[in-house]
Chains A and B, each alone.
Chain A
């Protein structure tokens, strides 16, 4: 059976952004980490290609993740608080 697992790396700047987000929403930050680990372990790219060449996007509840995928390694490039798009009810 072929090994599909991919290597997962985080860009240092993206990890710092996630650390900052962990201060205000720790569960969501941990969920983002687990989601990317799961994607790497399954070997399937769950995300969507974006208009930026080579950049993919995967939403993990409150945090959106931009990453690169070269077929063997997932490299997280940036994390964004996706709640900024939500419309407040007041």
Chain B
């Protein structure tokens, strides 16, 4: 710090914005700034709302959609010097919501940041007949009359369809 803040080395004190950018990098990388930010964060009325939407990269891999959901709970590999360390309460909150949604047979409310559940309900509302179709399918499943195919057959049929599409 003494090196960076020395007037003789940086032509002025405190550091001018340009110097600070060059010498210290992003302001949030400074531990003092980070602590101050964290303090103001915890004193606010609630945790900041971060828009979490599916991140589609390339052609939409199946786990790509998880990136938007779980980045709060994961620390980047190089977090020690760069990333803001999130409070444990926020992280455990995310995990609790997921766990309760997994264990509870009935969803009573959708957490604000749970875009997966929101998307599921939105599709149910936006697709005509989907709810009724699912209810009928569940009834058939419980009655043992649902017509199903196994996973290998399903994969073979999809691959054959894609292949025939390419050849036609």
Contacts and interface: CB of A to CB of B under 8 A. Distances in A.
A3 interface: no
B46 interface: no
Interface of A: 7-13, 15, 18-19, 22-23, 26-38, 40, 45, 47-55, 57-62, 64, 66, 68, 75-78, 80, 82, 84-85
Given A30-B158, A75-B146, A64 B119 contact: yes
Interface of B: 54, 56, 59-65, 101-102, 104-107, 114, 116-117, 119-124, 126-127, 130-131, 133-135, 137-138, 141, 146-151, 153-155, 157-159, 161-162, 165-166
Contacts, number: 162
B162 A48 contact: no
Which of B54, B114, B116, B123 lies at the interface centre, i.e. has the most chain A CB atoms within 10 A of its CB?
B123
A11 to B, nearest CB: 6
Nearest to A32: B62
B159 A9 contact: no
Contact of A54 (B54, B138, B151): B138
A57 B133 CA distance: 15
